[in-house]
Structure 1
């Protein structure tokens, strides 16, 4: 679908990837509804975009926040053309060191929130051209040490995407999953950056993810996508021969654990 004049709801709009997506789509003439928790950061994104766009300060991990988003969409008086579920949180830590609150926050933000928001938005999506893009991760297809809860949340989001696509398969609405690899965003803490550098992991700019989102929205038929090589290869190998990936990650495990270890003075 052409993006000019399309009404698109974008969550996590004030983060690194969300900001890049907003800039890319606004430059193509889309009208955006930007959702995020911090009003000042949302205003900062809106102010650099061409055109007129709405902002909805809301925590979509709460029922009140999701209701606020639905009310803002209703006030526009027209159906959405696309929903981009981009909001997400991550914690890099070994499971024994993980705070229960951080585990709960990752599941709430990365799994429960997009499912419940999608449920609310579905009746508000265009029945012919409506599209849903769920921003996941390559860790939604490869379990990685130090990210056990994050991986679980992205595996869940990928499963939700697949099931919903099939549930809507008798209509024209389309649903797809995008799996970025490591991306340079505020979501990563310094330990993640240090680990990626030490292991030689490729790290993409947010703009590469934004370009992939645009390509998905423009495609006549949306397909799930994964960004980066050899990550796409590893995803395929892990699906068929997971023991090979087990062995490859085992060789890196000492380094991963070193960076994931809590700081000496941490509680």
Structure 2
């Protein structure tokens, strides 16, 4: 689907990747519904996008707390119809599974998995009724390669990837497309100080949110089903699917080094 002249809801619009995606779409002539929890952040983004000539509408809502049917209705009402939803909402914790608070686990699955699934399900009658639509779910490389010290986050993104795959098969022939895009480590505030220091120490490959946004929009324009960003990460995704024990040998030796950074996170910045 081409973004030009499309009505698109972007959730998590004020976040690093979300805001960058909105800028890319604005430059391509899309009309944007900006979804997020912070009205002030959305207003600042809206001011920026309107300076680029984009039509925008703000949708201030906590997707975890608000009724998904109501959120869907508000999004559709902004321009009278909706062609696409791009889910950029996400939260994570970094640390050993045994140290993760139960509330953090619940919050992660609600934000990363349950809320986007419920919103997409609520939007489906509108899209299937028109015989046209595009659902874009932003996952993670960790949704294919289960990473130590990100166990619950990985699991939440594995689940989102499974939903995307099943929904794509379910909607075949309906005119509604489903795309799953999996970035690798992205340099945003989402990855707090301890994670950034760990990534630098382990020499993890990183991308800017602008580069990720360009890849997401390119995947949308090409109507690509699954897109994994970064090399050699996309190769490791294939290896992990076929030979996960090979990936074990690469990741398990890193755990001790990673644990050191989780302890620094608990005690504060170094």
Q: Secondary structure at the match of 1:263?
A: helix
Aligned to 1:60: 63
RMSD: 1.6
Under a length normalisation based on structure 1, what TM-score does the superposition of the two structures give?
A: 0.94
Q: Secondary structure at the match of 1:178?
A: strand
Aligned to 2:234: 232
> Alpha carbons of 1:197 and 1:71: their partners in 2 closer, same or farther (altered >3 Å)?
same
Q: Which runs of 4+ in 1 moved over 4 A?
A: none
In the TM superposition, what are the counterparts of 1:109-188 in structure 2 within 5 Å?
A: 109-125=111-127, 127-188=130-191
Mean Cα deviation higher: 12-21 or 166-175: 166-175
Offset at residue 124 of structure 1 (A) = 2.4
Aligned to 1:193: 196
Contact 1:56/1:68, CA 8 A, preserved across alignment = no
Mean Cα deviation higher: 165-174 or 26-35: 165-174
- Structure 2 distance, partners of 1:187, 1:47, is 23
Q: Deviations over 1:59-108 (max 9, x none)?
A: 001233x3442232342453211111110101111111111111110000
Aligned to 1:12: 12
Q: Secondary structure at the match of 2:9?
A: strand
Mean Cα deviation higher: 9-18 or 67-76: 67-76
1:107 counterpart (106, 109, 126) = 109
Q: Deviations over 1:196-228 (max 9, x none)?
A: 000110110001111112112211x42200000
Mean Cα deviation higher: 54-63 or 133-142: 54-63
Offset at residue 265 of structure 1 (A) = 7.5
Contact 1:42/1:55, CA 8 A, preserved across alignment = yes
- 1:85 and 2:87 correspond: yes
Contact 2:7/2:79, CA 8 A, preserved across alignment = no
Contact 1:17/1:210, CA 8 A, preserved across alignment = yes
Mean Cα deviation higher: 55-64 or 20-29: 55-64
| Number of residue equivalences | 264
Q: Which runs of 5+ in 1 are unaligned?
A: none
- Structure 2 distance, partners of 1:264, 1:32, is 41
Q: Which runs of 5+ in 2 are unaligned?
A: none
